[in-house]
Amino acid sequence: MPLVKQDNSDEARPVGNGKAKEHRIKAATGLETIAPLVRSVEETPEPITTEVQGTIPSWINGNFLRNGPGKFEFGNTHYNHWFDGMAMLHQFKIQKGQVTYKSRFLNSDAYKKNSERDRIMMSEFGTLAMPDPCKNLFQRFLSRFEMIEPTDNASVSFVKYKGDYYVSTETNFIHRVNPEKLESLEKVDWSKFIAVNGATAHPHYDPDGTTYNMGNSYGSKGALYNIIKVPPEKTDSKDTLQGAKILCSIVPANKSHPSYYHSFAMSGNYVVFIEQPIKMDLLKIVTCKLRGKALSNGIYWDPKQETVFHLVNKHTGKVSPVKYHTKAISIFHQINAFEEDGFLMLDICCSDDGQAINNFLIQNLRKSGEALDEVYNTTDRTYPRRFVLPLHVTNETPTGQNLNTRPSSEASCVKMSAEKVFCQHEDLHGDDLCEYGGLEFPQINYERCNTRPYRYFYGCGFKHLVGDSLLKMDLKDKTFKVWYQKGFYPSEPVFVPTPDAEEEDDGVILSVVLTPSRDKGTFLLVLDAKTFEELGRANVPVNMPYGFHGTFSVSA
């Protein structure tokens, strides 16, 4: 049975009983302040050496790239929401057991305009840029009737299209970047290639390099959800998103109140779009400047709405007429999806409340004492769950009975009508995961296991508002291993396989760990993915903010 190590002690104990009953944990008291994790930092444009403790395997050769907000104010103006900070790109270059670090702010138009005037000039998700005080009163009045210009502050993740690296957020702008120099090479507008107003920062990839993504489009008749397909080949050196096409469009249940989504799922033959009850009031969004409100003011949680899974055939572009429903849940990240025995297994991290996005205001993250405890205790926990979707529902399929015939699965799926199947999930964890505050930022051995049956996934535990542990989940018996040290806050774990790996978990986990109680207490952590034992760490002599997502780029 798996063992867990805590607080770097020598004692170990088994974890996991294979069952989950209630997702309850004790109310938090006395949470440590994490204000230093969401403060502005200086960039480190030239590589600096790190102090390595332990051993970093010599076979790891490449760049560990991270993205996230790194500047939260300009002059006397400041951002309101964690998601608003200016994108900072980080690179850990790992070669022959040694590590160097450097970082740069993304040279976006938003960053340049804000820097030139030393004030917030462009609106972000939770911050409305106020009218330029240099304009006269009439000009400032008229500016309120203008549409908000979409930001190009691509602060969420690193993604790949046609072999090139891009940084992305959720607007129509992405930036092609040089992963070696961390320089922005080109600002790219999705809408110049296909009729979408943005795309997610979490695309999926087929083995041949074909990339799938999702983006909304907004017109006079309302919104559409669009499945995007980008070919793997370039036609010339200047090719970016050329050849991208909309595979299909899905009509929202309410065209003026479409769902917000951060990611989607993909199996071998299907794209799975999850239409959740986090809704966008388009009227409020287009009038936010007139009303003096940020974009986030137009996003709300409607627990009366069911969540709907839409299946799209990747080969034909046809949307399944059968819709798979479940209760109101909110989802930011999917784990994996695969087809087996006529079913599609959909593994996602989800919670039963969709208001958490409002808790990540900068002022909340910088609270301390009882005020910080209260913010955490009003934030719903996120847990890994599996939904089982029957793929061959016909008129002959019986109604009112569980169609899930898999004996090892506790999930249910019941045909309610010709085009509706209601699904209830199976927990992918035991009760003891509640002690670690649930799980988010899930990662798998993507190259080997994406769209296929798999056994392991990795993530962060959240006994705080940001990740404070690293978890390795074992689907075989729903147990887990954990890396946890009090006062340390690891970021999203990224799996890197060993050369010529034979087993699924042959490799290492990379994570950036921050220590808010220490100045310059940042280090790159390297864990053995199989045992979850620490192999080594590279101490970075500068401060870093807590980031969102990243990737590992193998050196040629």
Q: pLDDT per residue over 294-344, tens digit each?
A: 999 999 999 999 999 999 999 999 999 999 999 999 999 999 999 999 999
Distance between CA atoms of residues 424 and 156, nearest Å: 31
pLDDT recorded at residue 25: 56
For residue 271, the model assigns a pLDDT of 98
d(CA 491, CA 38): 13
Predicted pLDDT at 13:
32
What is the predicted pLDDT for the residue at 145? 44
Q: Is the model's pLDDT at 137 over the cut of 60?
A: no
Question: pLDDT tens for residues 414-423?
Answer: 999 999 999 9
- Per the prediction, the chain carries an average pLDDT of 92
H or E segment at 142? helix 137-143
Are the CB atoms for 488 and 523 separated by under 8 Å? no
Report the amino acid identity of residue 421: V
pLDDT band at 135 (very low <50, low <70, confident <90, very high): low
The pLDDT of residue 290: 86
- Chain segment 200-222, per-residue pLDDT in tens: 999 999 999 999 999 999 987 78
Give CA–CA dist 409/479, Å, rounded. Answer: 16
| Per-residue pLDDT reduced to its tens digit, 463-483 | 999 999 999 999 999 999 999
What distance lies between CA 368 and its chain's CA centroid? 26
Q: What is the pTM of this model?
A: 0.93
- Which of 138-152, 182-196, 204-218, 285-299 comes out lowest in average pLDDT? 138-152
148 pLDDT tier (thresholds 50, 70, 90)? confident
Q: What is the pLDDT of residue 204?
A: 98
pLDDT digits (tens, 9 = 90+) for 226-239: 999 999 999 998 99
Give me the pLDDT at residue 407, please.
82
String of DSSP letters for 29-91:
-SPPP-GGGGS------S-EE-EEEE---TT--EEEEEEEEEE-EETTEE-SBGGGSEEEEEE
Mean pLDDT of all residues in 1-28: 44
388 in Cβ contact with 424 (< 8 Å):
no
What does the pLDDT look like over 360-416, one tens digit per residue? 999 999 999 999 999 999 999 999 999 999 999 999 999 999 999 988 899 999 999
Task: Spell out the residues 6+ positions from residue 500 whose beta carbon is closer than 8 angstroms to its own.
Answer: none
Q: What's the pLDDT band for 9 if we cut at 50, 70, 90?
A: very low
What pLDDT score does 495 carry?
A: 98
- pLDDT bucket at 1, cuts 50 / 70 / 90: very low
* Cα radius of gyration rounded to whole Å, the chain: 23
In which band, very low, low, confident or very high, does the pLDDT at 16 lie, cut at 50, 70 and 90? very low
